[in-house]
Amino acid sequence: MSNEKKALDGIKQSSGTEQGEYGIDEFVSHHLDELPPSYWEKHVGTSKPANEQVIDLLILRSKWEDEEVYDFTLPDDVTDYVVSVSFDEDGSIEDISMEN
């Protein structure tokens, strides 16, 4: 399994946990408040998506060349925020955080 896939799985698993509170859950709630209903209707077919629907929209924005860090964001350049996933030397997820 690629680290990109592992990172997305880790994001999904952290949702609703203490780890997700300042990572993916903060990212989702921020964007549900900030983005217009038309954005959500276009991408998921409803103006009030569930957290899982927002998480399923995440796309890879960048991978840091010098480290195993992957930054995910929403499609269509609607935000400067990313959910950043970093891996340790053993290939395990070290941290998941929201950054801008």
Longest Cα–Cα distance of the chain, Å, equals 42
Q: pLDDT category, 67, cuts 50, 70, 90?
A: confident
**Residue 92: is its pLDDT beyond 90?**
yes
**Residue 66: is its pLDDT beyond 90?**
no
**Residue 76: is its pLDDT beyond 90?**
yes
Query: Model pTM?
Result: 0.94
Q: Parse the chain into domains and list their residue ranges.
A: 3-99
Return the structure tokens found at 86: 């970093």
Cα–Cα dist 20/27, whole Å: 9
Average pLDDT over residues 62-68: 90
Helix (H) or strand (E) holding 54: helix 51-57
What sign does the CA torsion over 86, 90, 59, 61 have? positive
Q: What does the pLDDT look like over 32-64, one tens digit per residue?
A: 999 999 999 999 999 999 999 999 999 999 999
Residue 96 near residue 14, CB atoms below 8 Å: yes
